[in-house]
Amino acid sequence: MARNVSDQHGRAFEYAITLVLSKRDGATLTQRAQDDQARDKARFDQLPQNLSTHFMSGARCVANHIHVLLPPGTQTNSMEIDRLPDVAGTARSERNVSDISLKFPNHVHLNLSIKNNHLALKHQRPSSLMQQLGHPKGSPEDNAYRKKLRDIYGIFYREAKRLSSKAINFRDLTEIQPDFIDKVLYAPVCGHVCQTLTRELQIPQKCKQFFSFLIGKADFSKIVLRRKKIEVTRFSAIQPPTQCKVIQPDNSHINLDFDNGWIISLRLHTAASSMGKTTPSLKFVIHRG
């Protein structure tokens, strides 16, 4: 499946930042960064002139202010630049939501999460929720959770067939009944996830673990390029939460109100145009509230 426009632009902005940083004295690129730069040059070159100019201006601004994100006294005469693979949506125990990693002398690292005009933390599949909470795949907890999801999907497909026996894509259903997906798929899935999180996040360790999954374990700073400014959010040294209030404000959203001051919103959406035959492709987009 082709990458969407947002991802294309995000990669192009990463390319621009890496390109500007690589021209500094003492800067080197890892082999992975070199490969990614070669891959994304075409993405950048295909941008409209106004957008490529915007990205390069933003990249120079980021490069000129890297020093303010570093510990005092950091030596910047040497810098290794790495571009990291996308593992943000996985349930790995050691995951890094950063896009660019900078390594300086004396073991100083700076991880950057790069976004073009949006604040999304990551995307995740509802089916892997129990792994995100620390339960092994195939465990009794995971099996029970997944069975309920399969039951919800089964009802969705039965109702979809009743609505239109010829429907292949989600839009075939919404053209007939605009709120069908929202009510018959999103609402029960979010309800199931909401109930599961309400139960699981009562345990402080689970609350801490899930929060860590949502923002990533690696210390990083998020850089968001807006139309007229660059926003920087430091995610390092965040106090871990011990409690969370879980709220479902509507059919497709879940809000997580953590006791460390963070409010995180999960929005469910379809990740493919086709409905599939037994399992719809769904993802949560996660934003800080």
Residues 111 and 85 in one domain: yes
| % of the chain residues with pLDDT over 70 | 82
Minimum mean pLDDT range among 189-193, 227-231, 253-257 = 227-231
78 and 24 co-located in one domain: yes
Quick one: 106 and 129 in the same domain?
A: no
Please say whether the beta carbons of 154 and 49 come within 8 A.
no
Clarify whether residues 69 and 127 are in a common domain: no
- 22 neighbors 72 (Cβ within 8 angstroms): no
Mean pLDDT, the chain, rounded, equals 87
> 126: which 2 tokens?
């509802």
Q: Say yes or no: 191 and 145 in one domain.
A: yes
The total domain count for the chain is 2
Is 232 a residue whose pLDDT tops 80?
no
Residue 2 CB neighbours (<10 A): 6
> Would residue 141 count as lying in a domain?
yes
pLDDT mean over 247-262: 95
The pLDDT tens digits of the residues spanning 55-81 come to: 998 899 888 888 888 888 899 999 999
Assess whether 273 and 256 both reside in one domain.
yes
Same domain, 175 and 254: yes
Q: Which of 203, 214, 248 is nearest to 119 (CA)?
A: 214
pTM > 0.95: yes or no: no
**What average pLDDT does this structure show over 185-214?**
95
pLDDT at 218: 54
Asked if residue 238 has pLDDT above 60, the reply is yes
Any idea what DSSP says for residue 136?
Answer: P
Contact 33, 17 (CB under 8 A): no
151 and 102 belong to one structural domain: no
| Whether residues 127 and 78 fall in one domain | no
Q: Give the pLDDT of residue 70.
A: 86
C-alpha to C-alpha distance for 199 and 196, rounded to whole angstroms: 5
| Residue whose structure tokens are 């943000």 | 88
Range of the domain at 104: 5-116
Domain end among 116, 141, 158: 116
**Exposed e or buried b per residue across 236-267, where buried means at least 16 C-beta atoms within 10 angstroms of its C-beta:** eeeeebeebebebeebbbbbbebeeebebbbb
What's the pLDDT at 22? 96
Dist CA 112 CA 232 (whole Å): 10
Q: Is 233 contained in some domain?
A: no
* C-alpha distance from residue 117 to each of 111, 120, 144, 176 (Å): 19, 10, 39, 34
Residue 221 counted as domain residue: no
* Separation between Cα atoms, residue 169 and residue 273, nearest integer Å: 6
Residue 190 lies in a domain: yes
Regarding whether 99 and 16 lie in a shared domain, the answer is: yes
pLDDT in tens, 167-187: 999 999 999 999 999 999 999
Which pLDDT value is given to residue 90?
A: 46
Asked whether residue 146 is assigned to any structural domain, the reply reads: yes
Residue 18 within any structural domain of the chain? yes
**Would you call 13 helix, strand, or coil by DSSP?**
helix
Examine residue 80 and state whether it is found in any structural domain, yes or no. Answer: yes
Stretch 242-251: mean pLDDT? 96
Residue 209 in domain: no
- Based on the fold, state whether residues 131 and 253 are members of the same structural domain: yes
Q: How confident is the model at residue 235 (pLDDT cuts 50, 70, 90)?
A: low
